[in-house]
Amino acid sequence: MNTYLDLFLTFARIGGLTFGGGYAMLPMLQKEVVESRHWATEEELMDYYAIGQCTPGIIAVNTATFVGRKVKGDLGGIVATLGVVAPSLVIITVIAAFLQNFAEYAVVKDAFAGIRVCVCVLILNAVIKLWKKSVVDKPTLVICLAVLIGSVFLDLSPILFVVLAGIAGAVIKSVQAKNSQNTK
């Protein structure tokens, strides 16, 4: 299949199956982009998410642009992004045109109560996968727990955590490099 078409359809599928925003997209991305198509690695996904936290726009859109560009250049990035928003565009237009009280139907509420529980479990599984790849030693364990606890209990912007963690990574690594030089 044409790669552009494949990018568009894959991201349309991901966009169409993502309930509950950018983070809920993660299990889909792991399945479709990392495991089935090898367009990006688990590590790259984490990088994209971290950068997506500090750049304008929706994380789903940012990640699609990143992956698309990696696979097929600038045009690939644009095609993947259009793919990820296409389903919402169609669904919302239909709802806006015909189903004014869509969210009020009991059936819809029940179905989505079930879907929300599933999204929880899927994100939890995704976090476990990422944990295995990113928490590789003591410093990374500390960074991960600090960010988790900090963002649950403090009302601070995620940008702050990302910037601090980036600086911490650079400092820790250069200190380690210096120490290993001294011991030689």
Partner 1 sequence: MQLLQMMWEFFKAGLFAVGGGLATLPFLQDIGLRTGWYTNEDLANMVAVSESTPGPIGVNMATYVGFHTAGILGGVLTTLALITPSIVVILLISRFLEHFKGNRMVDNVFYGLRPASTGLIAAACFGVMQIALFNQEAFAASGNLRDLIQPKALILAGVLLIVTHKKDLKDLHPIVFLASSAVVGIMFHLAA
Binding residues for partner 1 restricted to 68-127, rule: CB under 8 A? 69-70, 74, 77-78, 81, 85, 87-89, 91-93, 95-97, 102-103, 106-127
The angle at the Cα of 64, spanning 143 to 150, to the nearest 5 degrees, equals 20
Task: Determine contact, residues 157/179, Cβ cutoff 8 Å.
Answer: no
Contacts with partner 1 in 134-173 (CB under 8 A)?
134-135, 139-141, 143-148, 150-152, 157-159, 161-162, 164-170, 172-173
CB 90 to partner 1: min, Å: 9
Task: Determine contact, residues 7/71, Cβ cutoff 8 Å.
Answer: yes
Question: Does 60 contact partner 1 by CB under 8 A?
Answer: yes
Label residues 18-28 b or e (16+ Cβ within 10 Å = b).
beeebbbbbbb
User: d(Cα 8, Cα 16) in Å, to the nearest integer?
Assistant: 12
Question: Does 26 contact partner 1 by CB under 8 A?
Answer: yes
Smallest Cα–Cα separation from 33: which of 67, 65, 9?
A: 67
- Which residue in 40, 66, 72, 83 binds partner 1 (CB under 8 A)? 66
CB 171 to partner 1: min, Å: 8
Label residues 36-62 b or e (16+ Cβ within 10 Å = b).
eeebbebebbeebbeebbeeeeebbbb
Is 5 or 102 the residue whose CB approaches partner 1 more closely?
102
Question: Does 5 contact partner 1 by CB under 8 A?
Answer: no
CB 65 to partner 1: min, Å: 4
Is 5 or 175 the residue whose CB approaches partner 1 more closely?
175
CB 1 to partner 1: min, Å: 18
CB 37 to partner 1: min, Å: 13
What 3-state class would DSSP assign to 101? coil
Question: Does 41 contact partner 1 by CB under 8 A?
Answer: no
